[in-house]
Structure 1
Amino acid sequence: MEPKKNPQLDLKRNSLLYFFVGMTLVLLMAYLALEWKTYYKADSWDVSQNVDEDLTENATIVKIKLPDPPKPEIQTPPKIEIAEDDEKVEETVIKSDEVNQETEIAKVEDVVVAEDDIPEEIPFVLIENAPVFPGCENEKTEKDKRACFQSQMLKHIRKNFQYPEMAQEMGLEGRVSVIFTVQTDGSIGNIRLRGPHESLESEAARIISKLPRLTPGKQRGTAVKVPYSIPITFKLN
């Protein structure tokens, strides 16, 4: 069966050729447009020819006379006057303090011996003879007496311990740090407390106030004040 259209009349047959011819023409026209040059017509007169020569002014030269520089001042050297001699001063002879054969030696009875400088208060861990708790006098060594002191302190606290009712109702617990001083007569004084609540501190102070009279601590045979610290723990079951 033959096609109805004539293949010689098909427009798409030479479309690629037409495209390249069109592109060539467009590029040629763009090149001519970019390379096209125009020139202004030459003027018939020159601007520089209209300048009047009489308008040129001559610069006036002004001469300014500068002042002369100041002359340096010449300082006159000070006049030296010779003072008269001062009055004669007698020189004092400093005698030597070195001992010689003529120096008298003081007698032994005349020499004053200074007293021992013993502090008024010595901590428990540094004192020579620590305070003695009643019932610990028979301990032989100082170490045993210290251990007995601490043991009796714990027994005293457990024996007299009473948990404050208000602290139980409020659910208060904690540790109260207690510091007290064994006086030179064996009594207890200067009680200092620090705890989580006032009710617990009051109970700790009551327990310490019930301590019996102790044997005071001694340093070189002299009774001195001895501070001692111990914690008291309050804990609900």
Structure 2
Amino acid sequence: MEAKKNPQLEIGRNSGIYFAIGLNLMLLLSWRALEYRTYERDDVAIDVLEMHSEFEEEIPIVNVNTPPPPPPPIVMSEAVEIVEDAEEIEETVIESTEIGQDDAIEAIVDVGDVEVEELDEDVQVAFAVIEDVPVFPGCEKLSKKATKDCFQKKVQQHVASNFNYPQTALDLGIQGRVSVVFVIDKTGHIIGIRSRGPDNILEKEAERIISILPKMKPGRQRGKPVKVAYAVPIFFKFQEG
């Protein structure tokens, strides 16, 4: 009995290929099934988009009325017309009322009859150029140069003996130089004290020292007592540690 199947055909020859194709199809269907998502209708916003055609507004063209240019300047030609003056005009002569050189005032005055009034001028002279410097108590009966040196020495001694470093300045660490300018008036008193320094506390102390200077013999210029300006520096310095 002969077999019905063709012995040349081998059914199991391509079974591996068919198995691989079927396995891939199953994997693809499984992946798509896992990735498939559904949404509720309430969470999905369904809007209607309306499209309108864009309208371009036409800008009207406005013609600006430009004023015409000004007319060219009119050139005036100067015409000189000579008119004969037939009328004679009488000129009026105005005489001066000022006194001339011929009108001398005859007055003879004696030199002794002229009184010279002396003006009491409030003159202030610097200490460096004064003829006779103010005399500090204890500097009397000295030459001009010795009196000047004695004055400066006495002022320095006065500052040193009356010096008091303010406690507030020490606490705040304030120090520096204070320049003091004062005036010895015509009676020998100290006036017009001014100071300039790094702080108001030091300035007040420097002014206090100068304000208690003793009364002096005033300085003289051309034999007359005058005000004399003098400047003295006061150093405020402390040693730390």
Report the TM-score when normalising by structure 2.
0.60
**How has the CA–CA distance of structure 1 residues 213 and 75 changed in structure 2, closer, same or farther, with 3 Å as cutoff?**
closer
Query: In structure 1, what residue type is equivalent to 2:131?
Result: E
Contact 1:180–1:192 at 8 Å: present in 2 too?
yes
Matched, 1:200 2:205: no
How many residues matched? 162
Contact 1:118–1:219 at 8 Å: present in 2 too?
no
Matched, 1:211 2:213: yes
CA offset digits 1:108-163 (Å, max 9, x no partner): 23323353785521111111111110000121x11111100000000001100111
Structure 2 unaligned regions, length at least 5? 1-75
Which of residues 76, 84, 89 in structure 2 aligns to 1:85? 89
Aligned identity (percent) is 44
Report the TM-score when normalising by structure 1.
0.61
Q: Secondary structure at the match of 1:163?
A: coil
Counterpart mapping for 1:1-237 below 5 A: 77-82=80-85, 83-89=87-93, 91-92=95-96, 95-96=100-101, 103-113=106-116, 115=118, 120-139=123-142, 141-237=143-239
C-alpha distance in 1 between matches for 2:78 and 2:125: 77
Structure 1 unaligned regions, length at least 5? 1-72
What is the Cα deviation at residue 105 of structure 1?
2.8
CA offset digits 1:151-186 (Å, max 9, x no partner): 000000110011111111122110000001101111
**How has the CA–CA distance of structure 1 residues 201 and 79 changed in structure 2, closer, same or farther, with 3 Å as cutoff?**
same
Q: Secondary structure at the match of 1:122?
A: strand
C-alpha distance in 1 between matches for 2:208 and 2:201: 11
C-alpha distance in 1 between matches for 2:103 and 2:151: 57
C-alpha distance in 2 between matches for 1:74 and 1:185: 83
**How has the CA–CA distance of structure 1 residues 174 and 98 changed in structure 2, closer, same or farther, with 3 Å as cutoff?**
farther
> Pairwise CA RMSD of aligned residues?
2.7
